Amino acid sequence: MGHLYNLRHGTPYHAVRRHFEKTRPTVSRIGERRKPRPEGRPGYLRVDTVHQGDLDGKKGVYHINAVDEVTQFEIVCSVEKISERYLIPVLAALLEQFPFVILGFHADNGSEYINQHVAKLLNRLLIELTKSRARQTNDNALVESKNGAIIRKHLGYSHIPERFAPLINTFNQNHLNPYINFHRPCFFPIVITDAQGKQRKTYPYEAMMTPYEKLKSLPKPEQYLKPGLTFKQLDDIVCAISDNDAAKQLNEAKLKLFKTIFEQERRAA
């Protein structure tokens, strides 16, 4: 046994059994590593990326999901790649679709968001960039739960080629985003303090409302709207169609979307 250890120091052994050290991660100074503090104000976004799978070495569509922490107002955009050329214009359009002023942008430590190009865009718009903390799994839990409840529910898990990103993005903007913000109710927590002073969250049905209704329920909500936008304009969007009809239109548009993708894929095969 002792001779085996001697052999392990020889050149032939090292030629076959090499030891590689793991790549040491570099610390990024972009963004502050902390939890956002909205203090009841809308405009603090939680952002995450959802990938629509690989197939035969080919990448699928990427979905950018942004959820406001206070109102759960949510905007979904789709992009072919998460490189600077594709991501920056989509992020700018995503931020523009929120009805209130954006104050914070919180993401995990993925390089698609924690980079100089995104930081430059947010600095120009006076938006604070923060990133998730180590060993704090709940920092981005809100948007991760929406990834499953919204994106995976409506767009599934199957591979969708990246060339269909513009088509899906049009579906998001015209059907998915209006439905989930103006017609789909969400649970909102109510904090209860027991006799021992311990706080726990409950989610009663009485507190369910749409993200838009939650926005209007805030104290003096007009102060949060973007300049030139009024609640009358937003009310017209809500009253233009009932909740059931909006869901019906969403399902019809989704069926048409997948049918188009399937037919184009079949012709290309």
| Cα distance between residue 66 and residue 94, in whole Å | 8
Q: 42 to each of 103, 139, 178, how far by Cα in Å? A: 8, 17, 18
The model's pLDDT over 208-239, given as tens digits with 9 standing for 90+, comes to 999 999 999 999 999 999 999 999 999 999 99
Per-domain residue ranges of the chain: 32-184+212-268
d(CA 48, CA 13): 46
pLDDT tens for each residue of 177-220: 999 999 999 999 898 888 888 888 899 999 899 999 999 999 99
CA separation for the pair 262, 268 (Å, rounded): 10
Q: What is the distance between the alpha carbons of residues 99 and 103, in angstroms, rounded to a whole number?
A: 12
Q: Domain 32-184+212-268 maps to which CATH number in 3.30.420.10, 3.40.50.620, 1.10.10.10, 3.40.250.10?
A: 3.30.420.10
| Predicted model pTM | 0.86
